[in-house]
Chains A and B, each alone.
Chain A
Amino acid sequence: MAASIPTTPHANAGGESWSNDWVQLELVDPDAAETGYGRKRNALAILGFIALGLVLLMAILGPELAPYNPNKPDPAVTLQGPSREHLMGTDQYGRDVFSRVLHAARLDLRVAISITAVALIVGTLVGGLIGFYGGVLEHVVMRIIDVILAFPGFVLALGIAAMLGNSTRNVIIAVAIAYIPYYVRLVRSEMLALREQEYAAAAKVVGVRKIRILLYHLLPNALPIALAQATLTLGWGILDAAGLSFLGVGIRPPTPEWGVLVGEGAQYINSGQWWISVFPGLAILIAVLGFNLVGDWARDRFGPR
């Protein structure tokens, strides 16, 4: 919009001073792609898409591209640095780190998507219901949410995961619980505004039941804001799941998973075998970065307001 307004400094030459101020205001419009700010953001988004593409590629084709069996030990090549045969070196059992990182991508992505799906669905439904109906239930749920938010999210997930026991499913549940409150708050506040919309009243006038107004008319309109949040959860979800596995309360060690891999290599960093931890760590970095940058872009682009 701003791009179509003539911003030449001379366009208002001889005009009154207020019109020059107005042109100045237009020049700093953050939406204008021509400005340095806009260009920088576009570059970040492209970087995000490249990172995300890389992760998706690993997840889809990883097992086919992996040169070795990720779980097969080879006593002949233990603790070897990166080389032509083993691009990312080998670990203490002689397993190929590159193959293990590739295989882990699919599991990590699946975990991230599951976490996000659970948090999104549960959080949106709960937030929508309490925002729409209000009353005592709203107060009770919001206070519970406050209590959950009082814990640092990762510590909470750690506690829940330790309580439930090691398994992929439990990691997903633990991390999802830590993220549900954000969705509840977000969707509830959106619902408070949406329920006053006139199309909600119009639906009421033609005799639509309350629950249908909520499910068919209001929740779909609250979805964009929840989906923008979901892109961020995908990234942080990977980080949290990997973190739990690293600390030993997540996915069990032999399974190739980025957090597990970093944890396995941690004890060798001091003795100089950095590659066992660093390469899976980089994979986590790329994935989280990709989801976050793309998430920021999506929020600017499709997010509310």
Chain B
Amino acid sequence: MTEMHRPLLAIEHLSIGFPNERDGTMHPVVRDSSFVVNRNEVVGLVGESGSGKTQTAMSVLRLTKPPGQVLHGRILLDGDDILQMNDIQLRQVRGNRAAMIFQSPRTSLNPLMTIGNQVGRIYTRQRGMKKKDAGDATLEMLRRVGIAGPARVAASYPHQLSGGMAQRVMIAMMLACDPELLIADEPTTGLDVTIQAQIFELIQEIQQETHMALLLITHDLGVIAEVCQRVVVMQLGRIVEIAPVDTLFADPVHPYTRRLVGSILRPDLEVLPAAARGNDFPPVVLEVGGDRYQAVSVDSWRSVNVGRPEMVEVAPGHQVLAHAVDAPSEAVA
């Protein structure tokens, strides 16, 4: 019973911090974030640059780069806390249960190794295949990710590939691990629009075939609408809204999400959406020391004391970051 209902990935109250250069205190870049990814589910993670999307994703495979570190929280992959694992257990996760695709495919490949060698190594080293079988499996996998002439590509080096091909190779490498969870961190950054569409199509296709869970980080709300079942929205290191994809677009609750959705250009409307015209920013909630919080209006710099922000369920499966409003204080100098 619990087996069935346990999510594949559960992130609980995760905070990630980087030290302040002056005094060494930890500055949180991800704060108290919780969300789950279920089996066979595609979850989108959206938010502006610097909102903590990538840091959240990296921490799932414990790739947080020092001096950054996870301050508190748990990351449960099928019930096992990744943050408590030793090196051997961690390699088991990385090689088999979870994999990640990075932003820039070309620099994600070793420039001195042929593609065939790099993909093949996963089969020989991680899956214990014989060299010949691994070679066959590599060609088969390259074909599966839509590479024409896999034998030729397997013999070539990363610099000989286009960005789109390199990303297909990366996908092939991660699929060779046969993961239960795939994290794709802006997998189409730097690719042109038609290739972007192809890569997303490929990822979606493979997800439907293998039923692996997918955590997709992207700026492209169109892709989110098309590929994802649920969406997690982040702003300034906090999750501000979690909703099923249809609800998110039809009925966004958090002011940031509203503006995000409102910023989508609609060819069927003649005017620019209000949000794209660039005024009327929603207030931002900041921690002002201790456990005190203020909502600051970006336009007027007027601030209001508020209670600790917490996720509130507004509908089944639809959570929004909310805070109690205290007495208003005067404007910040």
Contact = CB atoms under 8 A, between A and B. Distances in A.
Interface of A: 196-199, 201-209, 217, 220-221
B191 to A, nearest CB: 15
A205 B171 CA distance: 12
Contact of B99 (A198, A205, A221): A205
Contact of B91 (A196, A202, A207): A207
B110 interface: yes
B91 A209 contact: yes
Contacts of B256: none
Contacts of B91: 207, 209
B173 interface: yes
Interface stretch (B101-109, B135-143, B232-240, B288-296): B101-109
Contact of A220 (B65, B109, B112, B125): B112
Given A198-B102, A201-B63, A201-B102, A206 B126 contact: yes
Given A205-B94, A205-B100, 14 more contacts: A197-B107, A198-B102, A199-B110, A201-B63, A205-B174, A206-B176, A206-B177, A207-B96, A208-B125, A209-B91, A217-B110, A220-B112, A221-B111, A221-B112
A206 B111 contact: no
B122 interface: yes
B320 interface: no
A194 to B, nearest CB: 10
Contacts of B92: 207
B108 A201 contact: yes
A280 B221 CA distance: 76
Contacts of B125: 208
9 contacts: A201-B102, A202-B173, A204-B63, A205-B94, A205-B100, A206-B122, A207-B94, A207-B177, A221-B111
Interface residues on chain B, size class: 20 to 34
B95 interface: yes
A197 B122 CA distance: 19
Interface-central residue, B61, B93, B112, B173, by most chain A CB under 10 Å: B112
Contact of A199 (B93, B94, B109, B122): B109
A203 B117 CA distance: 13
Interface string B81-101: 000000000011111100110
A208 B110 CA distance: 13
Nearest to A212: B125
A245 B278 CA distance: 78
A201 B173 CA distance: 13
B94 A204 contact: yes
B9 interface: no
Contacts of B95: 206-208
A206 B104 contact: no
B170 interface: yes
A205 B111 CA distance: 17
A206 B112 contact: no
A207 B93 CA distance: 8
A201 B61 CA distance: 10
Nearest to A208: B125
Contacts of B99: 205-206
Interface in B154-185: 170, 173-174, 176-177
Name the 3 nearest CB pairs between A and B, nearest first: A207-B95, A207-B94, A207-B91
Interface-central residue, B94, B110, B125, B176, by most chain A CB under 10 Å: B110
A217 B110 CA distance: 7
A208 B177 CA distance: 12
A199 B103 CA distance: 11
A196 B322 CA distance: 38
B89 to A, nearest CB: 11
